[in-house]
A and B are shown apart, each in its own frame.
Chain A
Amino acid sequence: MRRWCLPAGVLAAAAVVLIGAAGASAAAQAESDADTLRQAIEAQDRLVAVIERVRPAVVAVFRLGRGGRVSGSGSGILVDPDGYALTNYHVVTNLREVRCGLPDGHIYQARVVGRDPTGDIALLKLRGKKEFPYAPLGDSDRLIPGEWAIAMGNPFNLATDFKPTVTLGIVSGLNRYLRGRGDNTLIYTNAIQVDTSINPGNSGGPLFNSAGELVGINGRIAGRPTRGRVNVGAGFAISINQIKHFLPMLKAGRDVYHAQLGVKVGARDEGGVVVEEILPDTAAEEAGLEKNDVILTFRGETVLSRQHLTNMIGVLPAGTAVEVGLLRGGKPLTFDVELGGLPAGQGVLAGRGFGPPVEAPTAPSMPADAPKAEDVIAAYVKARGGEEAVNAVKGTKTVAEIYIYGRRNTEGTITVYEQRPDKVRQEFKGNVLHRMRRGAKSWVRKVAVKQVQGYDGAEGWTHQPPNPVTVMLGNDREEIRQAFVADRILNNGDRPEGLTLTYRGVSAIGERRVHVVEVTLEGLMSRWWFFDTETHLLIRSRHRSLNAGLWREQDLDDYRAVGDVKMPFQVRNFRDGRMSSKVTVKSVTVENGLKDKLFKAPK
């Protein structure tokens, strides 16, 4: 019987034989080869040790998909023994809960604590263990091209035992810039470029230096379109030093936004940048920067180029105070600027409405017998039914038909529950209208959709079954909160600290004459209210959205009595001058006993 042989045992460590070596020199050669091998093994052992030390802190992040199973894959890294872990924003987007697999073989529940959509970072908090392994944070400013860069993560969901895939490469370049998506998310400034293999699924995972310190979070790769989405030698990580700017706020459970200066700059022949345009309503405008200013320094550092300035601004949180050194007309000047915020996320994408244009009001003019703002508001409350009657309405249930203008229009019914002072729940049931065309025939295909949204006074959420519940981003949630604040000022006599009500004059919207009142809440918001001079009722509200700074208008009409109080039965919403939705109320009932549970996000 033919026996096939297993080669005997394992070669002794030093016994790498060079073929052809012979004679006396062979012995010396063999010894030198043994030395070489020993050194190589020692170098290898050092690398293996570093990897084994940090690996336990690498997590595989899974989203909860339909039917409660996990789906999708991304990566993360624990940075705190309490269970805080960093990952990419685009791995978790607006989910509240995810699952994390650790190399110990177990899967843990994790809550999304804070998000940085522009910087593509999210902070998770795992639970289920008293003390989690974690990785030490390094200093990404000390990285240099050519040093080792170790990535760990779960590309292509290969880590079925949750032990991460480890890849090795070098730092290929630093301070890289990658354009973001249309909604200002995933803008990578000052990113670390590596040739370490990074693939789909590595997102959110750690990038370590050769000492095992966390220096970046991997998130994007360059692609060659003909190869599909695989690594081709250029992966990008968000620097840990950028993340450090946001970490405390993320830990506090906030959604954070990045800084915006508000200038368009051009390159100068002699190096540096010159201001070409000041964007309206930005920090640059407020601080007094002007066109043709040469920006010499930013936070004490000389500005070398447009990209350099973008990189310096892009890693900072919104609201950071900075010192900007300028040259104006040959004279050096220093400006203290409080950087604004770059809006990001859904609201930015929403952009302008798609429906008919809004009717713009004429410029207000001050009449001879100008009333006080408070009087205009008082007249409005009286016209609605009087202070007592209005305040007695603690909650309402409204059923209405809604038509939403968009890339595809949507029509349906909404049932809105509102609870003073600050809770709302909206249930939508209807159809998305797809315009179909084949040849000369065209028709509309209706696709049914159901969605519930709510705000419970603290958190905003959306649920579109069978998808899991998602949470609103900070800016979107703040929009709702501010709407309630404004509503209480207008209807319930709230007069919070820092409030200013100013009468702006008389204007006309179409054929109706209106009183214009400006309401400002210091450091928070500013709105315009337009009251019909004859009926005293509010027919329009106008403000600048937190997202992208777009103007939003709301027209109210067809006030009818519901019990003792008049309420508008026609509402039209506008974004950036065009209608975004039209609401026709069918019925309103006063509901003073609504339970808090109604407004909380479903599990």
Chain B
Amino acid sequence: MQQRDRWRRRGLVLGAVLAAAVAGAHHAPGAEAGGEGVPAVIKRVMPAVVRVFGRRSAAFRGVGAGIILTADGTIVTHQLNVANVDEPTVVLADGRRLKAEILGTDNETEIAVIRVKAKGLPTLKFADSSRVRAGRWVLAIGNPFGLAREAEDDLSTNLGVITAYTRVPAGGFKYRGLVFLTDAQINPGSYGGALVDLDGNLVALNGRVITSKDTNTQMGVALPVNDVLPVVIRIIKKSKERQPATTRPTTEPADTGAVDSE
């Protein structure tokens, strides 16, 4: 509770309106009389998820996703999408290609915050990620394998449930907090995309595929939105205090995707 209020106050202080009130776990009765379905949720949520293009590097095609946090252009994404590039390109759902400014990154959560010059952008409501339980349906929205090639192509959506809310020790993964594991598959290109529930509320930011030390298997992790927002605010604050010189993350993934046949 206290944490939530702190964000609200900070939001006002920064002059940026972070997406509105945290939505409760229940949706308004009668709002969707059972007929809309998952496709309608996807349609509603999709415009708030953007494509984030870095420069093509040898190992990673630099195509990823990001989530619009404020109507005036603050976007949260994954570090890998903006690695080795000064001004990443952002492609909005309406097809506009905008150059983004990197406000900062956080090596622990691997989050990057960027900003584009725009107005009236669509945003998502946030869920209270601390109350999300295993077994809840979620949709992962992003651009795995860069399959949404052109602006008019839909981003990809994967359906699954929240599998666990836990710590995952993994080599090269510095974050020690709790993350979501989910059935909704995450792949290169999905990083920085949104994990939403059936109400269309943002539950988590999709992270990358890591290899768990417990099982020696690969798993995609998603960062709970309650833990992402404070990091975002911290980054924004720091960027205002600092000179415009942006930090440039240099980590690159060990894995990449390719379209294969079977």
Q: In the complex, A touching B, CB below 8 Å?
A: yes
Give residues in A with beta carbon < 8 Å to B: 90, 144-147, 169-170, 172-179, 186, 193, 195, 198-203, 219-227, 229, 232-234, 271, 304-308
Let me know if B35 is at the binding interface, CB within 8 A: no
Given contacts A232-B185, A305-B150, A307-B149, 19 further A-B contacts (CB under 8 A): A145-B42, A146-B139, A147-B39, A173-B154, A175-B153, A176-B147, A176-B153, A177-B149, A186-B261, A193-B147, A198-B262, A219-B261, A222-B147, A222-B257, A222-B258, A225-B255, A229-B262, A232-B187, A304-B152
Q: Which of B28-83 contact A (CB under 8 A)?
A: 37-43
Let me know if B192 is at the binding interface, CB within 8 A: no
- 16 example contacts (A-B, Cβ-Cβ < 8 A) are as follows A146-B39, A147-B38, A170-B157, A174-B154, A176-B147, A177-B149, A195-B184, A201-B262, A203-B262, A222-B187, A226-B255, A233-B158, A233-B185, A234-B145, A304-B152, A306-B150
B258 engages A225 (CB within 8 Å): yes
Chain A residues lying within 8 Å of B186, measured Cβ to Cβ, are 233
Chain B residues lying within 8 Å of A304, measured Cβ to Cβ, are 150, 152
Partner of A222, one of B37, B38, B260: B260
Interface size of B by CB at 8 A reads: 40
A222 engages B39 (CB within 8 Å): no
Docked complex Cα distance between A145 and B49 (Å) = 15
Q: Which of B121-171 contact A (CB under 8 A)?
A: 139, 144-145, 147-159
Chain B residues lying within 8 Å of A226, measured Cβ to Cβ, are 218, 254-255
A224 engages B159 (CB within 8 Å): no
Docked complex Cα distance between A90 and B40 (Å) = 36
Shortest C-beta distance, B170 to chain A (Å), equals 14
Chain A residues lying within 8 Å of B222, measured Cβ to Cβ, are none
Shortest C-beta distance, B156 to chain A (Å), equals 4
B39 engages A199 (CB within 8 Å): no
Shortest C-beta distance, A431 to chain B (Å), equals 32
A193 engages B153 (CB within 8 Å): no
Let me know if B107 is at the binding interface, CB within 8 A: no
Let me know if B256 is at the binding interface, CB within 8 A: yes
Shortest C-beta distance, A210 to chain B (Å), equals 10
Partner of B158, one of A172, A179, A200, A224: A172
Contact with A along B208-224 (1 / 0, CB 8 A): 01000000001000000
Chain A residues lying within 8 Å of B150, measured Cβ to Cβ, are 304-308
With both beta carbons as reference points, the residue of chain B lying nearest to A198 in the complex is identified as B262
Partner of A178, one of B152, B254, B259: B259
Partner of A307, one of B153, B156, B188: B153
Let me know if B177 is at the binding interface, CB within 8 A: no
Q: Known contacts being A172-B158, A232-B185, is A271 close to B95, with CB within 8 Å? A: yes
Docked complex Cα distance between A219 and B261 (Å) = 7
Docked complex Cα distance between A186 and B262 (Å) = 11
A147 engages B37 (CB within 8 Å): yes
B158 engages A227 (CB within 8 Å): no
Chain A residues lying within 8 Å of B254, measured Cβ to Cβ, are 226
With both beta carbons as reference points, the residue of chain A lying nearest to B95 in the complex is identified as A271
With both beta carbons as reference points, the residue of chain A lying nearest to B160 in the complex is identified as A195
Docked complex Cα distance between A54 and B260 (Å) = 28
Chain B residues lying within 8 Å of A179, measured Cβ to Cβ, are 259
Docked complex Cα distance between A486 and B187 (Å) = 55
Q: Known contacts being A170-B159, A232-B187, A234-B145, is A220 close to B262, with CB within 8 Å? A: yes
Name, among A173, A174, A200, A306, the residue most crowded by chain B CB atoms within 10 Å (CB to CB). A173
Docked complex Cα distance between A307 and B139 (Å) = 26
Chain B residues lying within 8 Å of A193, measured Cβ to Cβ, are 147, 156
Docked complex Cα distance between A177 and B147 (Å) = 8
With both beta carbons as reference points, the residue of chain A lying nearest to B38 in the complex is identified as A146
Docked complex Cα distance between A195 and B41 (Å) = 17
Chain A residues lying within 8 Å of B148, measured Cβ to Cβ, are 173
B156 engages A200 (CB within 8 Å): no
Chain B residues lying within 8 Å of A178, measured Cβ to Cβ, are 259
Docked complex Cα distance between A225 and B158 (Å) = 20
Q: Known contacts being A146-B37, A232-B185, A308-B150, is A220 close to B259, with CB within 8 Å? A: yes
Chain B residues lying within 8 Å of A199, measured Cβ to Cβ, are 262
Partner of A229, one of B147, B155, B260: B260
B144 engages A200 (CB within 8 Å): no
Chain B residues lying within 8 Å of A147, measured Cβ to Cβ, are 37-39
Shortest C-beta distance, B45 to chain A (Å), equals 10
Chain A residues lying within 8 Å of B40, measured Cβ to Cβ, are 146
Shortest C-beta distance, A237 to chain B (Å), equals 12
Chain B residues lying within 8 Å of A202, measured Cβ to Cβ, are 262
Chain A residues lying within 8 Å of B149, measured Cβ to Cβ, are 177, 307
Chain A residues lying within 8 Å of B145, measured Cβ to Cβ, are 222, 234
Docked complex Cα distance between A222 and B95 (Å) = 25
